Copies of this chain bind each other. A is one copy, B any other.
Amino acid sequence: MTATSWTRETLDRIQEIMDASLRTAGTVQRSFFGKEERRLDAQAFLRTWNGIYMCAAATQGSGPWPHLAGIKLEFDAEGELSMLLYQGGAREADLRANPRTVLQKQDDDGTVLTVYARAEVPDDEPVIDRRGRAHIQVRLVPVRIYAMGPYVSGPLSRPDRAGNGRA
């Protein structure tokens, strides 16, 4: 279920990750995500994230290729992420060998939301969906978060969407 509000405690925890991420960002990364006029606070970040359906999820392959999947992924009321993982796919093999994943949601208004997270892959029995695919639910713990809101100037900015959120 899509959460649309969070406790002060959850917001503070997410905000701390966002602030620490920006503090330790490299120069190039800070030149993008550090723009004052486009920064999002924890609440705007969470609402914007859950307001976008598709998420790109990158994992490190054991071979020479990284992998990238298009999935559905939302923050729950506790500010955690639960990812559906199909058994037998590249993403499952990747995460069992290396639990680090990077997630990104974006909007053509310039919004870019990036979450570095660790996956906790359980030993649960898989569930079979109606297409016959086996899957398990994997908990993701955010480690770093970078968030950038819509363009505020230039040809792609949309003045009607100004403000740090889309709630």
Chain A residues with a Cβ under 8 A of chain B: 26-29, 31, 52-54, 56, 58-61, 64-68, 70, 86-90, 98, 100-104, 106-108, 110, 112, 114, 116, 131, 133, 148, 156
Contact = CB atoms under 8 A, between A and B. Distances in A.
Contacts of A64: 60, 98, 100
Copies in the complex: 2
A43 to B, nearest CB: 21
**Interchain residue pairs A-B with the least CB separation, the first 5:** A28-B89, A70-B112, A58-B58, A56-B56, A68-B102
Contacts of A70: 104, 106, 112, 114, 148
Contacts of A148: 70
Contact of A156 (B53, B59, B133): B53
